């Protein structure tokens, strides 16, 4: 250790360090232009000149490369130093008068105009770039020439391959003599070096070789891209190592092969967006204003390359007119091999159009060119209707070519409209709605795993086992199972988890370990003793906020017994240390000023628990995400804000009380309401995973709507396959079936329900921990199209019945007509029934099979054979099924005349009415839910306008309710085909098992509590709570009869009741009024 003095202050440094390094450690600023932490100093710019007194005399040395020695005395800010630096700056200024950093320095040293002759250079010959280039392992540039001829140049003035255009020289150049712009123009543009495109931003933005893939990445730590990192090209650089405060970077790390022994594999490799560059007629590769829908997503995103400001890429001007082209890379055998429908593009295009209008204003014209509008998901049809109301234009046409408009950035398209007119139109931007496809890597993986694929390269599955691959034990979910949207992928993933769970049930909880429990210290009634730990987070916080001064300040606050700063508070050794300090200093409240409680609160609470403190005696001050990261250019105010945030946290935590988390047993029994296909699937899955399950079915048999269906599109007889499922359910020792039974009452809550089952006047009580609602739906009974007046007019299900019975009249019929959307997609029922297009087309094919000469017509509005269902639409057209489109305003007319069923419909191609005499008329009537208002009341779960149950979250919680312990599947959620009903049955079981497997549930400590003495029994809390947590205490109770109470198990701690309580009787523990008021007043703006 070397001890010496800087400006009279005693300082210490390591042997071999330079003056500047030590000064930096003590926060003493010495200006420099040519110094870089990762490079050996060279003393080229001379601005770091300081005065050195060696005991006898004073002299000037450069601080960056003068080694320290014991007893020396350094002055960094003396008058002679100031004078010396002034002269240096003046000379540099004369050489480079236009360099901003020199102008700033000149101003600082009081130079108005240099006394010397001004030149017009921008390079100060500091050589930093040369040293950096050498560090990169390249040495492509050097200081060449002598005296006034000296300059930074390449050997012999020629550009060589040594320069890899890494840009390191530009990144360190203090004057802007070398810029990335110059490198781009002079080197990269010529030698074809590409900028590194950010994958997350679809290449619309660049990224560095060291990068975090995107803001929400998990884990949120940077990665080094070996393909582009300079070190892996030249062996040099490693500059990042010098900057990493915790030595986390290791360039020698190699890929590891990890072997895992597993009992099951779930494949969720996803999809890749279709690459439209091969469609040269769309000019995607050549024209910046033709973009893909994925690029559009980024342009519309607030975290995207333009911050959500919608611009076209050619000139960054706001577009006035945008078109979307649907089915690019889908439903296309002509220009690509994807004949399936990608399922999601119609919906995302509408979403993008609506958001684009929201961002750019109503004047933005949006047009979507499509073939069939496929908005078959829950609430999607409404969104489609709303988009039309908002002025999004829908054009039914497939456009062939996009032509750039000469001398403009606009694009021109020619298309044929619905009426057969050839039109030409110009757009500022065209978005190609690209489809989903399986990547070649995934295809190779499938081959390696030995699993079969479909014609479209998706994983081959069975209708009745939709998440099982062709190889036992390997399951699949998401877009690899078939193109699908987020909700369906989420349902799939839960289903795959339960499928794997079924075969692994025996191993559940066999490898768990119990953590050691530290007894909790009782601190109630003690005076608060607050400990404050201020985190530097490396330089993330300390680079902006003056952390030591925040810790110092914290120590002065009331009740604070201890305050310190940590380099990384979340590091394991720091955690152990904090735990020790809490015990030693007998702290009973803790504040950590660091990052965000959203990610780190649980970790620090764990530290408290390990120190024997209740975890609620804790508060975080967010001085990173809400401070140092967002106020980089204002360290002073950021430090002040950090102090304020710490003060607010300390004030709040001083009022914190230890909170209790009650533990409740979960009854390991499940009740499934509804014995249809999805209900039975859920029950079987629960039982297979070891949980006793009861099926409550109101009819006299299991099977539900499955009994009405003839076959699936893959050719399976429903009766056969469902028969096997029914047999499984009936013979399973853990399943009890209650037929002709309904629910007449439900009490209790998650883990502890008590339901009353009524059957033939008999009542039976059932205690269960979870409930699955699978109450199903049915076909709409219609009076439209003369239904019921002629035996030849029937519904889809009636046609299925006749097929099952092998009715000879079917094969004898000369003509058959299907009318689609009977009762669906109409104002009184504005949703798509999802299954009818596929069902009718499959039946049309079946009729053709029975009688190839039969004339079969399908009258439709949009054909919605999504995913690989599209194949049967294609097959039907090939086999001669005629598809005639009709509009809602011009529905087909059905007349019974001369013993014939006469159907009149306006042909969409000819534009004239066509009359068809049908021997069979099938009406594809809507799927309607079995409206279950009583059940909704029992479990406090919502029903939407259409009568379907409302799930917890449309995208992320499709198979469960907001009410804990209640799950959802099948037609009760939304119309769906058998495979999707089965997947959701499994998904509901999977979600239920996450609860059952825990055996106990813990309530949160931060919940509402009612002071009954203050309660006026007004009932506002009861009516307002979305989770049904408050209730009245029974009128005949001994204490507080008629007052409100909160069930701690149901309470989610939102505080809605607290804010609404007129009597001030409700407290939210952990966020009580006194705590929030204290926080507000602690933000006292001095």
Binding site for another protein (CB under 8 A): 215-216, 220, 303, 596-599, 622, 624-627, 629-634, 637-638, 640-641, 644-645, 648, 1006, 1053-1056, 1058-1059, 1068, 1070-1071, 1073, 1076-1077, 1079-1081, 1083-1085
Closest CA to 1058 of 1047, 1049, 1046: 1046
Question: At its nearest, how many Å lie between another protein and the CB of residue 968?
Answer: 22
Q: Which is nearer to another protein, 40 or 660 (CB)?
A: 660
982 vs 496, 684, 709, 728, 825, CA distance in Å?
Answer: 11, 11, 15, 14, 25
Q: Which is nearer to another protein, 623 or 988 (CB)?
A: 623
Question: At its nearest, how many Å lie between another protein and the CB of residue 890?
Answer: 45
Question: At its nearest, how many Å lie between another protein and the CB of residue 1030?
Answer: 13
Question: At its nearest, how many Å lie between another protein and the CB of residue 802?
Answer: 53
| 812 backbone dihedrals φ, ψ, rounded to 5° | -80, -15
SS3 label, residue 404: strand
Structure tokens at 73: 């005395």
Q: Which is nearer to another protein, 919 or 964 (CB)?
A: 964
Radius of gyration of the chain (CA): 36
Closest CA to 650 of 573, 550, 577, 545: 550
Question: At its nearest, how many Å lie between another protein and the CB of residue 1059?
Answer: 4
Distance between CA atoms of 862 and 1071, rounded to whole angstroms?
Answer: 53
Q: Which residue has the tokens 């297979």?
A: 688
Distance between CA atoms of 495 and 982, rounded to whole angstroms?
Answer: 9
Q: Which is nearer to another protein, 633 or 762 (CB)?
A: 633
Q: Which is nearer to another protein, 770 or 1068 (CB)?
A: 1068
Q: Which is nearer to another protein, 410 or 648 (CB)?
A: 648
Question: At its nearest, how many Å lie between another protein and the CB of residue 660?
Answer: 18
Q: CB within 8 A of 454, min separation 6: which ones?
A: 460, 482, 868
Question: At its nearest, how many Å lie between another protein and the CB of residue 600?
Answer: 11
Distance between CA atoms of 602 and 619, rounded to whole angstroms?
Answer: 11
Structure tokens at 743: 């629910």
> CB burial class (10 A; 0-12, 13-18, 19+) of residue 687?
buried
Closest CA to 198 of 231, 170, 228, 169: 228
Distance between CA atoms of 583 and 480, rounded to whole angstroms?
Answer: 53
> CB burial class (10 A; 0-12, 13-18, 19+) of residue 803?
middle
Question: At its nearest, how many Å lie between another protein and the CB of residue 692?
Answer: 35
Q: Side by side, which strands form the sheet with 966-968?
A: 735-738, 692-696, 669-673, 770-773, 966-968
Question: At its nearest, how many Å lie between another protein and the CB of residue 203?
Answer: 19
Question: At its nearest, how many Å lie between another protein and the CB of residue 301?
Answer: 11
Q: Are 980 and 970 in contact (CB under 8 A)?
A: no
Q: Which is nearer to another protein, 95 or 641 (CB)?
A: 641
Q: Which is nearer to another protein, 962 or 1054 (CB)?
A: 1054
Question: At its nearest, how many Å lie between another protein and the CB of residue 721?
Answer: 43
Q: CB within 8 A of 959, min separation 6: which ones?
A: 490, 491, 494, 951, 967, 968, 969, 973, 984, 987, 988, 990, 991
Question: Helices 635-654 and 547-555 meet at what angle, rounded to 10?
Answer: 30
Residue 97 neighbours by CB distance under 10 Å: 17
- The stretches of 665-819 forming alpha helices (DSSP H) are 677-688, 718-731, 796-804, 808-812
From the centroid of its chain, how far is CA 366? Answer: 26
Question: At its nearest, how many Å lie between another protein and the CB of residue 1015?
Answer: 17
Q: Which is nearer to another protein, 39 or 659 (CB)?
A: 659
Q: Which is nearer to another protein, 764 or 1084 (CB)?
A: 1084
Strands 618-622 and 589-594 turn out to be parallel
Element (H, E) at 12: strand 9-13
Question: At its nearest, how many Å lie between another protein and the CB of residue 307?
Answer: 8
- The stretches of 879-977 forming alpha helices (DSSP H) are 933-939
Question: At its nearest, how many Å lie between another protein and the CB of residue 215?
Answer: 4
Q: Which is nearer to another protein, 646 or 972 (CB)?
A: 646
Question: At its nearest, how many Å lie between another protein and the CB of residue 358?
Answer: 17
Q: Which is nearer to another protein, 106 or 648 (CB)?
A: 648
Q: Which is nearer to another protein, 12 or 1023 (CB)?
A: 1023
Q: Which is nearer to another protein, 104 or 220 (CB)?
A: 220
Question: At its nearest, how many Å lie between another protein and the CB of residue 1024?
Answer: 8
Question: At its nearest, how many Å lie between another protein and the CB of residue 26?
Answer: 27
Residues facing 395 on adjacent strands: 369
Residues facing 290 on adjacent strands: 430
Distance between CA atoms of 508 and 501, rounded to whole angstroms?
Answer: 8
Structure tokens at 875: 């097959």
From the centroid of its chain, how far is CA 494? Answer: 17
Distance between CA atoms of 1002 and 188, rounded to whole angstroms?
Answer: 60
Q: Which is nearer to another protein, 707 or 952 (CB)?
A: 952
Q: Are 47 and 36 in contact (CB under 8 A)?
A: no
Structure tokens at 1066: 């409700």
Q: Which is nearer to another protein, 41 or 597 (CB)?
A: 597
Q: Which is nearer to another protein, 529 or 940 (CB)?
A: 940
Q: b or e along 1059-1072 (b: 16 or more beta carbons within 10 Å of the residue's beta carbon)?
A: eebebebbbbbbbb
């Amino acid at each position: 250790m070397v001890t010496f003095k800087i400006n009279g202050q005693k300082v210490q440094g390591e042997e071999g360090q330079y003056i500047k390094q030590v000064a930096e450690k003590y926060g003493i600023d010495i200006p420099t232009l040519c110094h870089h932490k990762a490079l050996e100093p060279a003393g080229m710019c001379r601005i770091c000149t300081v005065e050195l007194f060696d005991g006898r005399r004073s002299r000037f040395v450069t601080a960056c490369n003068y080694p320290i020695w014991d007893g020396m005395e350094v002055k960094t800010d003396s008058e002679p130093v100031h004078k010396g630096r002034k002269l240096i700056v003046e000379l540099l200024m004369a050489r480079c008068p236009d360099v901003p950093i020199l102008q700033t320095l000149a101003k600082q040293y009081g130079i108005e105009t240099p006394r010397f002759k001004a030149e017009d250079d921008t390079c100060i010959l500091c050589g930093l770039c040369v040293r950096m280039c050498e560090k990169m392992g390249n040495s492509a540039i050097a200081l060449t020439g002598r005296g006034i001829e000296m300059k930074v140049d390449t050997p012999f003035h020629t550009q060589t391959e040594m320069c890899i255009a890494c840009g390191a020289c530009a990144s360190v150049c203090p004057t802007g003599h070398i810029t990335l712009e110059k490198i781009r123009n002079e080197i990269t543009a010529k030698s074809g070096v590409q900028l590194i495109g950010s994958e997350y931003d679809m290449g619309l933005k660049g990224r560095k070789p060291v990068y975090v893939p995107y803001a929400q990445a998990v884990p949120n730590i940077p990665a080094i891209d070996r393909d582009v990192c300079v070190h892996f090209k030249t062996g040099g650089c490693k500059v990042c190592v010098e900057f990493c405060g915790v030595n986390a970077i290791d360039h020698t790390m190699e890929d590891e092969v990890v072997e895992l022994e597993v009992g099951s594999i779930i494949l969720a490799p996803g999809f890749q967006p279709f690459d439209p560059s091969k469609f040269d007629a769309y000019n995607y590769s050549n024209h910046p204003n033709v973009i893909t829908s994925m690029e559009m997503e980024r342009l519309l995103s607030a975290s995207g390359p333009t911050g959500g400001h919608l611009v076209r890429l050619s000139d960054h001007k706001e577009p006035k007119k945008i078109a979307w082209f649907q089915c690019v890379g889908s439903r296309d055998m002509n220009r690509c091999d994807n004949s399936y429908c990608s399922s999601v593009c119609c919906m995302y295009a509408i979403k993008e159009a609506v958001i684009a209008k929201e961002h750019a204003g109503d004047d933005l014209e949006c047009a979507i060119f499509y073939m069939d509008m496929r908005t078959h998901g829950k609430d999607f049809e409404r969104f489609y209707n709303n988009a039309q109301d908002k002025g999004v234009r829908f054009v039914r046409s497939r456009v062939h070519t996009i032509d750039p408009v000469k001398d403009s950035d606009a694009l021109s398209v020619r298309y044929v409209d619905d009426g057969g007119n050839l039109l030409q139109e110009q757009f500022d931007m065209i978005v190609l709605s690209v489809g989903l496809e399986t990547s070649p890597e995934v295809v190779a993986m499938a081959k390696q795993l030995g699993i079969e694929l479909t014609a479209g390269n998706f994983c081959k599955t069975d209708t009745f086992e939709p998440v099982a691959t062709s190889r036992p034990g390997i399951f699949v979910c998401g877009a690899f199972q078939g193109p699908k949207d987020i909700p369906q992928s989420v349902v799939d993933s839960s289903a795959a988890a339960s499928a794997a769970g079924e075969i692994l049930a025996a191993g559940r909880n066999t490898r768990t370990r119990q953590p050691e429990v530290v007894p909790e210290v009782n601190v109630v009634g003690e005076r608060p003793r607050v400990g404050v730990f201020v985190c530097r987070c490396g330089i993330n916080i300390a680079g902006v906020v003056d952390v030591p001064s925040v810790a110092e300040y914290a120590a002065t606050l009331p009740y604070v017994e201890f305050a310190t700063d940590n380099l990384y508070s979340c590091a394991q050794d720091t955690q152990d240390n904090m735990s020790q300090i809490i015990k030693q200093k007998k702290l009973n409240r803790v504040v950590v000023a660091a990052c965000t409680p959203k990610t780190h609160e649980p970790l620090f609470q764990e530290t408290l628990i390990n120190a024997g403190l209740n975890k609620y005696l804790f508060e975080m001050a967010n001085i990173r995400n809400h401070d140092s990261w967002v106020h980089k250019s204002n360290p002073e105010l950021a430090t002040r804000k950090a102090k304020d945030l710490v003060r607010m946290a300390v004030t709040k935590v001083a009022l914190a009380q230890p909170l209790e988390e009650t533990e409740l047993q979960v009854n390991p029994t499940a009740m499934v309401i509804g014995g249809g296909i999805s209900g039975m699937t859920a029950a079987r899955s629960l039982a297979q995973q070891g949980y006793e399950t009861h099926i409550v079915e109101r009819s006299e048999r299991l099977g539900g709507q499955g009994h009405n269906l003839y076959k699936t599109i893959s050719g399976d007889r429903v009766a056969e396959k469902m028969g096997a499922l029914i047999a499984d359910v009936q013979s399973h020792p853990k399943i009890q079936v209650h037929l002709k039974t309904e629910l007449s009452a439900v009490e209790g809550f998650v883990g502890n329900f008590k339901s009353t089952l009524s059957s033939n006047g008999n009542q039976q009580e059932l205690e269960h921990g979870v409930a699955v609602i699978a109450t199903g739906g049915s076909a709409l009974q219609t009076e439209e199209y003369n239904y019921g007046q002629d035996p030849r007019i029937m519904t889809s299900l009636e046609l299925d019945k006749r097929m099952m019975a092998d009715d000879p009249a079917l094969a004898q019929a000369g003509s058959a007509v299907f009318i689609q959307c009977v009762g669906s997609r109409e104002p009184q029922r504005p949703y798509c029934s999802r299954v009818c297009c596929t069902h009718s087309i499959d039946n049309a094919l079946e009729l053709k099979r029975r009688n190839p000469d039969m004339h079969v017509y399908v009258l439709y509005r949009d054909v919605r054979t999504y995913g690989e269902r599209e194949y049967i639409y294609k097959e039907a057209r090939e086999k001669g099924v005629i598809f005639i489109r009709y509009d809602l305003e011009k529905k087909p007319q059905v007349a019974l005349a001369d013993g014939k069923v006469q159907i009149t419909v306006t042909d969409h191609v000819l534009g004239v009415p066509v009359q068809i005499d049908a021997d069979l008329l099938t009406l594809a009537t809507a799927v309607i839910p079995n409206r279950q208002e009583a059940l909704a009341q029992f479990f406090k779960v919502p029903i939407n306008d259409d009568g379907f149950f409302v799930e917890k979250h449309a995208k992320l919680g499709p198979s469960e309710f907001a009410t804990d312990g209640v799950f959802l599947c099948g037609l009760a959620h939304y119309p769906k085909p058998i495979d999707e009903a089965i997947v959701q049955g499994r998904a509901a079981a999977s979600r239920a098992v996450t609860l059952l497997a825990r055996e106990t549930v813990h309530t949160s400590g931060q919940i509402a509590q009612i002071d009954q003495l203050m309660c006026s029994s007004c009932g506002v809390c009861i009516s307002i709570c979305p989770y049904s947590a408050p209730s009245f205490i029974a009128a005949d109770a001994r204490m507080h009869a008629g007052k409100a109470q909160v069930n701690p198990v149901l309470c989610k701690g939102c505080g809605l009741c607290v804010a609404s309580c007129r009597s001030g009787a409700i407290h939210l523990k952990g966020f009580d009024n006194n705590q929030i008021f204290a926080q507000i007043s602690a933000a006292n703006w001095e």
